[in-house]
């Protein structure tokens, strides 16, 4: 029976749900090894992609087929990569769930968090219990019959992957089969894939690091120098690790590709959406102006709110995250907020190990 499943997984196409920049880049990576079904929700968008063979500024690989049918994906594919913004993830999973079977494998690439109830307004003083905040893997497990779930996180700027530049990622899952299937599907001479059993740690590290990318963009936008940017990144990382520890996350998750690796990439590159938000705020634009003109979601904006609310519920002080919250949502001046970074009285350097 095992050999039959292996043969089926080798012959079946794989699917990517979401034709944004990262979803398209992943689809093209997968197409170097397998046939790929790339799902987009709107029929007119699907037809446009079929005709132009262009998605998110990328030319589609010959082995990428466009589909607008979630049932087709579930019927044809054993391995599925959902890569849609976190604000759309619950609705997408709800639409996909009726077609899923227990033998499916889902490896998502969404760096965001789902909050319940989803329509609540989060302020500087809001508190969220851990049970109110779900990672995308937890959402999949709750809403579907699928058991073999994983996440795909790391320093994976879509623009660089699209150019064929070398990169690496980590697949987090409790199951060897999920990690191995993901490696077989994705790995190439330009894309290395690692594995980790700490799926929750990998997810949260990949999500929370977007907060630091926003702050890094602010420092760069104010031309405060690389020393100040390094200070914000390292002290901010300390805050995130302390938050992770209150949520029973092993600090080592923050020290690998999904943590420090992704921090280096997203905190330094103008191709990072979250970095761009911070940079443009420092240049004098408002958050609403920035978000209205961005083609894709900057997940870190919402993550700042969620992280601070989780910290508030635990009685944990996160001054850098709180500072970013004030700048993003309370119109605090960027320069004044970052100046506070230099006034924090911190006695120890590494205080989280």
Which residues are annotated as catalytic? 209
Strand 36-39 versus strand 64-67 pairing type: parallel
- CA nearest neighbour of 30 among 18, 47, 48, 41: 18
Task: Find where tokens 């969220």 sit.
Answer: 128
Tell me the CA distances in angstroms from 284 to 7, 129, 193, 277, 334, one per residue in order. Answer: 56, 35, 39, 11, 9
Element (H, E) at 196: strand 191-196
Residue 79 in contact with residue 36, Cβ under 8 Å? Answer: no
Residue 318 in contact with residue 308, Cβ under 8 Å? Answer: yes
In which region does residue 182 sit, left (phi positive, over 0), alpha (psi from -120 to 50) or beta (all else)? alpha
Write the CB contacts of 343 (distance below 8 Å, at least 6 apart in sequence): none
Strand 114-115 versus strand 133-134 pairing type: antiparallel
Task: Find where tokens 């987090």 sit.
Answer: 172
Round to whole Å and give the CA distance between 270 and 266: 8
Burial group, residue 1, by CB count within 10 angstroms (0-12, 13-18, 19+): exposed
Task: Find where tokens 């634009």 sit.
Answer: 285
CA dihedral 114, 199, 24, 259 (to 10 degrees): 90
Under DSSP, the state recorded for 175 is -
Round to whole Å and give the CA distance between 272 and 301: 13
């Amino acid at each position: 029976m095992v050999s039959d499943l292996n043969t089926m997984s080798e012959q079946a196409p794989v699917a990517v749900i979401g034709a944004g920049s990262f979803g398209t880049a992943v689809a093209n990576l997968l197409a170097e090894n397998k046939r790929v079904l790339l799902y987009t929700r709107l029929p007119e968008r699907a037809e446009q992609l079929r005709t132009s063979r262009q998605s998110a500024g990328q030319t589609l690989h010959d082995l990428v087929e466009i589909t607008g049918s979630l049932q087709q994906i579930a019927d044809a594919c054993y391995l599925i990569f959902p890569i849609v913004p976190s604000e759309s993830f619950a609705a997408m999973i709800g639409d996909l769930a009726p077609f899923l079977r227990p033998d499916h494998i889902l490896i998502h690439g969404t760096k965001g968090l789902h909050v319940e109830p989803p329509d609540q307004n989060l302020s500087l003083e809001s508190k969220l219990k851990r049970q109110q905040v779900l990672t995308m893997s937890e959402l999949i497990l709750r809403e579907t019959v699928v058991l073999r779930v994983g996440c795909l996180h790391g320093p994976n700027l879509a623009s660089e992957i699209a150019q064929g530049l070398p990169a690496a990622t980590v697949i987090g899952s409790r199951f060897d089969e999920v990690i191995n299937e993901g490696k077989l599907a994705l790995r190439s001479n330009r894309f290395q894939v690692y594995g980790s059993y700490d799926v929750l740690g990998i997810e949260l590290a990949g999500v929370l690091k977007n907060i630091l990318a926003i702050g890094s963009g602010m420092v760069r936008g104010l031309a405060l120098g690389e020393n100040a940017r390094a200070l914000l990144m390292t002290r901010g990382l300390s805050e995130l690790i302390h938050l992770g520890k209150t949520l029973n996350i092993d600090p080592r998750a923050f020290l690998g590709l999904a943590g420090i690796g992704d921090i280096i990439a997203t905190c330094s590159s103008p191709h990072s959406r979250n970095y761009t938000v911070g940079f443009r705020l420092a240049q004098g634009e408002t958050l609403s102006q920035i978000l209205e003109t961005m083609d894709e979601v900057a997940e870190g904006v919402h993550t700042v709110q969620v992280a601070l609310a989780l910290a508030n519920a635990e009685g944990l002080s996160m001054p850098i995250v709180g500072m970013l919250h004030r700048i993003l949502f309370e119109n605090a001046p960027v320069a004044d907020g970052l100046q506070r970074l230099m006034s924090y009285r911190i006695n120890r350097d590494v205080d989280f190990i």
